[in-house]
Amino acid sequence: MAVSQDTERFPFAERTRGDVGEGIASVLALLGRADLISFAGGFPDPKTFPRERAASLLAEFAAGGESTAFQYGPTRGLAGTLAAMAGRIESLQGRRPEEDELLITSGAIEALELVGKSFLDRGDIVVIEAPTYLGAIQAFRSFEAELRAVPMDDQGLDVDELERLLAGGLRPKLLYTIPDHQNPAGVSLSSERRSALVELARRHGFVIVEDVAYRELGFGGDALPSLWSLAPDVVLQAGTTSKTFFPGVRLGWAVGPAEVAAQLVNAKQTTDQCSSALGQRLFEEYVRRGWIEEQLARSRELYARKCELTLAALSLHLPEAQWTTPRGGFFTWLTLPVDTTELAHRAGDAGVGIVPGALFYADGRGRDNVRLSFSMVDEALIDAGIEKLARLL
């Protein structure tokens, strides 16, 4: 529930006014009900969590008398974790970050917060995709940025439209994009558009913030080049281990030009000073032993199966709707001939969790869209959930 502000009593900063801060909490609240068939949160399936291996690593740390995992760490990250992360980035993206280009963060959301803290003054323009990840809208708004949304289609961000806006005088400081298996639209930026986008950034002097939260969860073996690998001079990449390892460790990374990385490290000193050393050590060992690749292979299979079941149920029960066909990640994006905010409430009452599209726009659009997340819903309940939703229409 949103709590209204009494600014006479508590003189909150101006930037906290409005709806900032309520969005994600209201989505998370939907997950609390045990009886819900939930297509709501973009959470990883608990079946993928490495319980035994995490427990055995913890026991090893304790038995070995290790103190690093339990101690404060350097702000940029532990040396071993940075090396493990750099190795993974190299093997997955074909370019190894230099030591001064990489830092460990407390999740991708912290990377976005550090970007905001480092770059944004009041009124600065940030281009976002329409629709986009709610957490990013909230993070950039909290620094009083002006958000300009550029539409997407099934090839991702409409780069031609962006070019027209830039030619018309738009001067963004940052452009935020999720090129792979986008949240919430489930689409990926085409190869041609990737090249065109980085050229626009170079020509017009803005920084691309590339969020790769779902990049490693492609269902086929056909990853497109990351924007950072194409243009490490103008791209700051934010990544996370939340969807591939487990979100309880709150671990991610930022990689970009050395000057930018140094500024983010500076900003991090007063957010959390350092990311969890315990989480970093767990991840480092998990990578070193090759376990992350095993987990990833299983996760990709699981989510591909759930995606297939979801799309099949949509074809069967909701043929009048339109939806995107993801090639990875957690989401498909529906277009329906109804007000979806109202539908989401009725669906909740009927035992199905969905997220109305308006939450993913900064300007109230998306009233006929729904984000369906197939990541956490039980495979055996997917068809029943979609059927229930269809009955409400």
Ligand X SMILES: Cc1ncc(COP(=O)(O)O)c(C=O)c1O
**Which residues lie near ligand X (CB under 6 A)?**
42, 107-109, 133, 135, 178, 183, 211, 213, 240, 242, 247, 252
Give the number of other Cβ atoms within 10 Å of residue 30's Cβ.
18
Least distance (Å) from ligand X to the CB of residue 237?
A: 11
**Smaller CB separation from ligand X, 163 or 210:** 210
Residue nearest to ligand X (CB): 107
Least distance (Å) from ligand X to the CB of residue 129?
A: 10
**Smaller CB separation from ligand X, 166 or 217:** 217
Least distance (Å) from ligand X to the CB of residue 22?
A: 16
**Smaller CB separation from ligand X, 108 or 255:** 108
**Smaller CB separation from ligand X, 245 or 317:** 245
**Smaller CB separation from ligand X, 166 or 264:** 264
How far apart are the C-alpha atoms of 287 and 272, rounded to whole Å? 24
3-state secondary structure of 226: coil
How far apart are the C-alpha atoms of 118 and 265, rounded to whole Å? 10
Least distance (Å) from ligand X to the CB of residue 329?
A: 9
Instruction: Give yes or no for a contact between 232 and 215, defined as CB atoms under 8 angstroms apart.
Output: no
Least distance (Å) from ligand X to the CB of residue 211?
A: 5
How far, rounded to the nearest angstrom, does the alpha carbon of residue 205 sit from its chain's CA centroid? 25
Report residue 319 as tokens.
């043929």
Least distance (Å) from ligand X to the CB of residue 338?
A: 25
Least distance (Å) from ligand X to the CB of residue 279?
A: 11
**Smaller CB separation from ligand X, 42 or 166:** 42
- Least Cα distance to 107 among 129, 135, 126, 87 occurs for 135
> CA 256, 359, 220 angle in degrees (round to 5)?
55
Instruction: Give yes or no for a contact between 292 and 244, defined as CB atoms under 8 angstroms apart.
Output: yes
Q: Is 144 left (phi over 0), alpha (psi -120 to 50) or beta?
A: left
DSSP alpha helices (H): ranges in the chain?
Answer: 23-29, 51-63, 79-93, 107-119, 134-141, 159-167, 191-204, 227-230, 258-268, 277-288, 291-317, 340-349, 382-392
**Smaller CB separation from ligand X, 126 or 166:** 126
Q: 215 exposed, middle or buried (CB, 10 Å; 0-12, 13-18, 19+)? A: buried
